[in-house]
Structure 1
């Protein structure tokens, strides 16, 4: 059955795109049969069916892919150290390194080298990352910001819904599949690269060819735009309304918790307890996701794990039986996310973007305008029209167009120049890093089920 979006028909699609499996059947005209050469360490190099005579096919197993991903992270860190613009725009090191791989795959494809990779570990790392996000959703953190957290959370959820509605409307205006509007909406922007990669396979099952590529391209655009606009929006509000910082106040409770953990002298035990808790939540989550699948609901594989992790975290906060250490959970999540993103970008099909370049650019520009409007009006006014509200508006722009890291970087720029904003440093991370991922997954899932 022909899929959705702009893509080649199945019969014409290149069977040797990165990450795909070679088909069986007749030898295409003008191409030579496969010639396989075994290489020590499990690599298999051959000139494949359906490729020019000069092109080789390189098959990588799980360990090879893991090594490439780790090197990609290191390469991204090196690039950020050498190219300061990447650091100023808050481009994650994993995206910087992974995009290098994606560009190499684009240049080498069908001319010199094609890659076939075993990607089972990528899916495990994706679930591990979102499990740590769920484990960070402590009701105690939510209570610290009370009404401010609730207001900011409601605004972020509304923003995700509006992003999808705008994206769907523009996609239909261009005569495209409306699901493309969801991908370039809250999937890539509110969700960021990890959500775009996680949902990509689900959208592709619904017939949207190149959904993962479109998602990560949109997310990269959003990260860049959010990094450029967040600090500018906040500073503009501060200057326009003549706002001043209040007393420094207390640091967020999360920082105190981290220092207490560092002073405990039980780092190894706490790390092991956290790893065990994450693994157990992943296992329980797999059972929950299987139940959702049997009921016919379309959900990404990580949602069950997020729910299980959130329940386990709050039970541990109440009874203290699991020994979950937030700092170690965050470390586990960061490692999983970095490796996962590079692995996903290893199979990014950049050549699938050409036909959608202009429509996607218009759609993303409209999304930036929407978030800018929400920051300048609704966010600032809803959060109190004071200095901290302006800082939160900058943070809102950061994570609604990119990632929580973007939001924190935007707020850091503002507080270093204008003074501390302790309330903003509680509200924005709680909503941007934890709460919005839950509702965004529901918003995306609802849109998929309505449009499929």
Structure 2
């Protein structure tokens, strides 16, 4: 029996999933420790319930696709609207170098995924699902690419597989970041890196100041922490600012719709969500560069995060776990290989290219976080390291900007390239 639910009931169930996820995270420490998002925690449980109902009674559910698609496009628009290229200049050369390192890993991740999928007798496109679509991209990108792979390439269960794989990545990224960074610290002169709890207050203060000065001298930055200690005055989200922000989102969605239609059948044919992201980038940088328009980043983030949560809740309600039974073992092999590749890349590429110093070790731990999971996982990894060994202003400046904004632009370009390769068609 197929039960179809309209937009109203889809929205109601999605919000209930989010409330359930919040309750689970409060009650289950494991979910909080590994930064499992509320829609994922609640949605996976809802997916299991749907699986049981299907197994026992043969029930399947159809939810409002246009509503889910709209929230997905708003999320990717928020990423584009937040990608201010002036931040690349503010981050300086280290940020640009780290972005190149991250871009290189995205290519490696997809090569490993596609290669192992082909070797295991799977469709090579499944290697992209077990590659940068879900591991670097996270749940949002997994939910966006899943329907594309299902509709255009015939990959059954791509959305369900993507959500499951992205969840594995979150846990794995949180597990490996700390150990990788700690092992790297043994390679450098860390006489000043004794755990903070084992230092006297005078030694801890001197070590922190010395490390801070050394890092910023190496990076060519001025040691000014005012930007960290004195955030800008908070601008309130009012009715007027809400309308202003919604107008920006509307422009992104209109741009995405027009470009999807105009580019159909041409070499520039891209998934609609990629055009939404690109539209956000264009609108953001044109308005700020040529019109000195002050973007309300906090409002953009609020709308983007809310859209992502609702989109994921709806996507997870639509999970068809029974479609994954034949893929479970080979995909797990690919994922375990991806964990090993991430650890090796962070240790021998990220760490060395970024300077093979304390900051580089913290950056490597952060890279493990969003290379396998998401930016919050990266921040948690770095926080665990710096709480023990001292601050790393450079890492906390670079990783959030790359992980939250620029990596999605690079990942979209790399994935578009891979999906156009003849042997993957």
TM-score range, shorter chain: 0.7 to 0.9
Matched, 1:235 2:182: yes
Matched, 1:247 2:220: no
The Cα of 1:235 is off from its aligned counterpart by 2.6
The Cα of 1:128 is off from its aligned counterpart by 0.3
Matched, 1:259 2:224: no
Query: Which one of the candidate residues 191, 195, 200 is aligned to 2:141?
Result: 195
Conserved 8 A contact 1:133-1:306 = yes
SS in 2 for 1:187: coil
Query: Which one of the candidate residues 257, 263, 266 is aligned to 1:295?
Result: 266
Instruction: Say what the alpha-carbon RMSD is for the aligned residues.
Output: 2.0
Gaps of 5+ in 2: 194-207, 214-222
The Cα of 1:325 is off from its aligned counterpart by 0.7
The residue aligned with 2:277 is 306
The Cα of 1:259 is off from its aligned counterpart by 2.9
The residue aligned with 1:270 is 241
Matched, 1:173 2:119: yes
Matched, 1:345 2:316: yes
SS in 2 for 1:115: strand
Q: Distance in 2 between matches of 1:252 and 1:198?
A: 39
Q: Would the alpha carbon gap of residues 346 and 265 (structure 1) be closer, same or farther in structure 2, given more than 3 Å must change?
A: closer
Gaps of 5+ in 1: 1-47, 49-56
Matched, 1:210 2:157: yes
Q: Would the alpha carbon gap of residues 409 and 251 (structure 1) be closer, same or farther in structure 2, given more than 3 Å must change?
A: farther
The Cα of 1:59 is off from its aligned counterpart by 2.6
Q: Distance in 1 between matches of 2:228 and 2:73?
A: 24
Matched, 1:137 2:83: yes
SS in 1 for 2:18: helix
Deviates more, 1:308-317 or 1:233-242: 233-242
Q: Distance in 1 between matches of 2:379 and 2:263?
A: 35
The residue aligned with 2:202 is none
Aligned length: 394
Q: Distance in 2 between matches of 1:291 and 1:414?
A: 49
The residue aligned with 1:60 is 5
The residue aligned with 2:254 is 283
Matched, 1:151 2:97: yes
Q: TM-score, normalised by structure 1?
A: 0.83
The Cα of 1:290 is off from its aligned counterpart by 2.3
Matched, 1:91 2:36: yes
Q: Would the alpha carbon gap of residues 289 and 426 (structure 1) be closer, same or farther in structure 2, given more than 3 Å must change?
A: farther
Q: Would the alpha carbon gap of residues 250 and 99 (structure 1) be closer, same or farther in structure 2, given more than 3 Å must change?
A: farther
Conserved 8 A contact 2:237-2:299 = no
Q: Distance in 2 between matches of 1:270 and 1:253?
A: 25
The residue aligned with 1:37 is none
SS in 2 for 1:355: coil
Query: Which one of the candidate residues 272, 287, 297 is aligned to 1:316?
Result: 287
Cα-to-partner distance string for 1:41-94 (whole Å, 9 max, x where unaligned): xxxxxxx4xxxxxxxx43311111111111111111111111011111111111
The residue aligned with 1:117 is 63
The Cα of 1:237 is off from its aligned counterpart by 1.9
Q: Would the alpha carbon gap of residues 396 and 71 (structure 1) be closer, same or farther in structure 2, given more than 3 Å must change?
A: same
Structure showing the higher helix proportion among its residues: 2
Relative contact order, higher structure (CA 8 A, sep 6+) = 2
Q: TM-score, normalised by structure 2?
A: 0.88
Deviates more, 1:409-418 or 1:98-107: 409-418
The Cα of 1:253 is off from its aligned counterpart by 4.9
Q: Distance in 2 between matches of 1:388 and 1:399?
A: 17
